């Protein structure tokens, strides 16, 4: 063990207990709580814990209240953020499901991508209308409530849906949009009629 890890050994152990033991509805711990338990150097403690977790393919992730992640966050910004342990590598499909049906995950992907396309928020009624094209009506409300309960979506008192902390933590939004656009392009290509021999000859001329 390096000198720094030896010095911070007890704090690393305490940080592990705080991050892995779920005490709230949402997983993870607020930075302010870690600050109080571990002291002002808690970001260094978490960096060392992250090193320990690498062989297990796990990592310490931080999610800020604002969607834009600061380049060099201050302690004050970290205190307002949420820290939790997540997979470092890419999960296999069977692992990603984790008790979810594939159509429920598809509904979440559609909802998230739609909200992204609307610059971060959309009326719930519009999302429900969109999902009605993909799943039975009786499931729509249940699924949206589930997405909210699990921290993927949030809803304000005006019925507007927006992305919550878990989407920002777990979903590569750019990759999701690119994947959906790619699939849409493939569908359009598959439905377009093949070029006739006559049209091909005209192009060659």
Asked if residue 103 and residue 60 are part of one domain, the reply reads no
Report d(CA 114, CA 131) in Å as an integer.
10
Identify the CA nearest to 82 among candidates 36, 41, 27. Answer: 27
Residues 125 and 144 placed together within one structural domain of the fold: yes
**Is residue 199 in some structural domain?**
no
The pLDDT, as a whole number, for residue 121 is 92
In a domain, 100, yes or no: yes
SS (H, E, C) 42-61: HHHHHHHHHHHHHHHCEEEE
For residue range 102-138, what is the model confidence (pLDDT) as tens digits?
A: 888 888 888 998 998 888 899 999 999 999 998 899 9
Of 39, 67, 89, at which residue does a domain stop?
Answer: 89
Whether the CB-CB separation of 85 and 16 falls below 8 Å is answered with no
Residues with Cβ within 8 Å of residue 39, at least 6 apart in sequence = 11
- Indicate the pTM of the whole model: 0.58
Contact by Cβ (8 Å): 42, 15: yes
The answer, yes or no, to whether residue 96 has pLDDT greater than 70, is no
Which value, in Å, is the radius of gyration of the alpha carbons in the chain?
22
Q: Are residues 119 and 33 in the same domain?
A: no
Instruction: Tell me whether residue 149 is in a domain.
Output: yes
Number of structural domains (the chain) is 2
């Amino acid at each position: 063990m390096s000198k720094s890890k030896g010095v911070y050994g007890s704090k690393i152990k305490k940080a592990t207990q705080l991050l892995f033991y779920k005490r709230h509805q949402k997983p993870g711990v607020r930075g302010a709580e870690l600050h109080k338990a571990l002291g002002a150097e808690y970001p260094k403690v978490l960096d060392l814990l992250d090193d320990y977790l690498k062989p297990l393919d796990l990592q310490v992730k931080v999610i800020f209240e604002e969607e834009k992640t600061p380049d060099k966050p201050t302690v004050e910004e970290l205190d307002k953020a949420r820290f939790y342990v997540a997979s470092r590598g890419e999960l296999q499909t069977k692992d990603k499901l984790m008790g979810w049906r594939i159509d429920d995950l598809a509904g979440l992907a559609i909802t998230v991508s739609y909200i992204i396309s609307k610059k971060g928020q959309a009326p719930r009624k519009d999302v429900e209308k969109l999902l009605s094209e993909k799943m039975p009506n009786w499931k729509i409300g249940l699924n949206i409530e589930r997405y909210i309960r699990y921290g993927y979506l949030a809803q304000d008192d005006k019925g507007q849906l927006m992305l919550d902390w878990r989407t920002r933590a777990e979903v590569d939004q750019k990759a999701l949009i690119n994947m959906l656009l790619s699939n849409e392009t493939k569908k359009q290509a598959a439905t377009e009629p093949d070029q006739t021999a006559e049209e091909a000859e005209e192009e060659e001329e």
